[in-house]
Chains A and B, each alone.
Chain A
Amino acid sequence: MGSAKASLLMTKEDLVTFFHSDLFIPDLDALCKGDPGKDAVIRAMVSHLAQRKRFRNEKIVLETLRMREKLGSTGIGKGVAIPHGRSSVSKELTLLFARSPEGVDFDAVDGKPVYLFFMILAPHVDKESLYLPLLGKIVEVTKDATARRRLMKAPGFEEVTEVLLKAER
């Protein structure tokens, strides 16, 4: 994968500014008890964002992300998925980070379960054009196997940002 060009525009320091402690779900499995499927985890993450007033209409965002998955899975392999999309009801570029200790069948390209989720939502007009660089940077950082392992084990939000800053790429 050649994410270099898009991610060159964003540093790891820039990347961590998109992470917020209230947009971190350490245990998605606990939110999706009894329904650990792809749609359930997307619903849980969208609901988390809606509760934190990131947009007014949960249904529209959910449908947009479902449509995006129809284009091809955003499960990029090695236990990572980056569900993303642009929505008319999204006010600003938003990133949510979530973990599933058990792993989720997300139709990932390598057919393996997904443990790390980075959900990105953007408005259609992204004035600073940060949407693709943000996507690219997450892909790049999560290529580092040590970073992936440490992201899974990070006990809290502060440790998550430390791992991102120390990632190899």
Chain B
Amino acid sequence: MNPGLESLILLQDLDLMIREVSDAKTATQMSRIGFEVDQVGNLKQAREELARKVGTDLLATYDRLMKRYDRAVAPVRDNICLACFMKQPTKYSGTEDSLRSCSHCKRFLYFI
């Protein structure tokens, strides 16, 4: 997988994890189950380090997409973006190693 894409997926997973455990209802549920999720600071620090690795331009695009859609990276299957369900141009197919975006919604795409 393209290293840039790999970092973007990880960044998204990390952002969604931070969001989930920062939600009071989820944190209470986790605590009731038996998991304390009180070290969010550690995740935020890891997020900063990862964001630096991604680079300014890519990060700006990622942040813009996250703000707009809640997800900046989306899976693609059978050449269809599974976020907006639009078919991608044929020329896009079979290029797993490249960093590419949905031709319609512009989210970064990864094969699932």
Across the two chains, which residue of chain B brings its CB closest to A7? B33
Residues B33 and A1 in contact, CB atoms below 8 Å apart: yes
Map CB proximity to A onto B68-112 as digits: 1 under 8 Å, 0 otherwise: 000101010000000000000000000000000000000000111
Kindly specify which of A34-42, A52-60, A158-166 makes contact with the partner chain.
A52-60
Chain A interface bracket (under 10, 10 to 19, 20 to 34, 35 or more):
20 to 34
Task: For B46, list chain A residues within 8 Å (CB).
Answer: 67, 70
Residues B13 and A64 in contact, CB atoms below 8 Å apart: yes
Q: Chain B binding site: helix, strand, loop or mixed by DSSP?
A: helix
Q: Tell me if B9 counts as interface (CB < 8 A to partner A).
A: yes
A4 to B1, CA, bound (A): 41
Chain B interface residue count, CB cutoff 8 Å, equals 31
User: How far apart are A32's CB and chain B's nearest CB, in angstroms?
Assistant: 24
Max chain A Cβ within 10 angstroms of own Cβ: one of B20, B29, B35: B35
Residues B37 and A72 in contact, CB atoms below 8 Å apart: yes
A59 to B35, CA, bound (A): 24
Q: Tell me if B51 counts as interface (CB < 8 A to partner A).
A: no
Report if A72-B13 is in contact (Cβ < 8 Å); known contacts: A6-B29, A86-B20, A132-B29: no
Report if A74-B35 is in contact (Cβ < 8 Å); known contacts: A88-B110, A89-B110: yes
| 10 residue pairs from A and B, CB less than 8 Å apart | A3-B32, A7-B33, A59-B6, A60-B10, A67-B14, A67-B17, A124-B13, A124-B16, A139-B33, A139-B34
- A positions within 8 Å CB-CB of B: 1-7, 56-57, 59-60, 63-64, 67-68, 70-72, 74, 76, 82, 85-89, 91, 124, 132, 135-136, 139
